[in-house]
Amino acid sequence: MISGTEGVTVILSIAQMQALQGGRVVACHGGYGFMRRLDAMGIRPGVTIKKIVAQPFRGPSVIRVCGTQVAIGFGMAQRILVEVDE
């Protein structure tokens, strides 16, 4: 890391994250139903997640959240923003 960028937060969508990157969810964008579905699985702002599998060609992502693994389609994964750990 270049000196001077320390402390700068990197925010990526789950779809953009690399496999094995972890972080804290900062925002989810979508309608009421979408937010409820995420919430029921424990995906909500403030929660820490870890991406386990990244699939190429706009495939689904797999993350670990609340002790379970969850697969998320590409379109949905694009709408969940994560502040990535350094």
Please list every residue from 9 through 48 that binds other proteins, using CB under 8 A: 19, 33, 36-37, 39-42, 44
Residue found by looking up tokens 């693994």 in the block: 69
The nearest distance, CB 10 to other proteins, in angstroms, is 23
Please list, in sequence order, all residues whose beta carbon lies within 8 angstroms of the beta carbon of residue 74, skipping any fewer than 6 positions away. Answer: 15, 58, 59, 60, 61
Q: How far apart are CA 28 and CA 76, in angstroms?
A: 9
Please list every residue from 46 through 85 that binds other proteins, using CB under 8 A: 52-53, 55-60, 62, 66-76
Number of residues that bind other proteins (CB under 8 A): 29
Tokens of 22: 């972890």
Which chain residues interact with other proteins by CB under 8 A? 19, 33, 36-37, 39-42, 44, 52-53, 55-60, 62, 66-76
